[in-house]
Amino acid sequence: MEVLMPEPQIYVERTLAIIKPDVIDKEEEIEDLILRSGFHVIQKRNLQLSPEQCSNFYAEQFGKVFFPNLTAYMSSGPIVAMVLARNCAVSYWKELLGPSNSLRARITHPHSLRALYGTDELRNGLHGSLSISSAEKEIGFIFPEAILEPVPTGQRARDYLNLYVKPTLLAGLTALCKEKPADPM
């Protein structure tokens, strides 16, 4: 009987997920839901942000009425930050999160994470990047050691594979076939 193997996937899109202070006790449950939704956790970090760090992280929200409450809330306790990867990671993560207002999410997206774990518009349980560019910026902020190089897609990716990866694999596999080692490992 032939065993069907799924085609290997390369997850090139990443997004930032943050479990906020008021739902940190649900970390394992939330991470399980994330993994069951097809995401891979690339990096994970437990930390507590200072009010100044929160102000820098949410700088685009500066001047809005809720900004002081947001920075106070996000610095009120520990958080868990994760870099998630999968195809279309940003859009799938936003879909899984649901609307930013947890009260609205309970009505319009009752199975979303914010409907399940959030309490109101400010304390919505989780953070998600709004776009690929904001994900790169936010990942760099939380994980400064992360290497975020632009990942080629489409024809550029095929060209890269044909130019660099395939010749290396072909040479290595050819050498392995010629050697025919008794114990290849």
DSSP string, 34-83: HHHTT-EEEEEEEE---HHHHHHHTGGGTTSTTHHHHHHHHTSS-EEEEE
For residues 90 and 129, is the Cβ–Cβ distance under 8 A?
yes
Is 111 a catalytic site residue? Answer: no
Using a 10 angstrom Cβ sphere, with 0-12 exposed, 13-18 middle and 19 or more buried, the burial of residue 67 is: middle
* Alpha carbon distance 108, 115 (integer Å): 9
Catalytic residues: 127
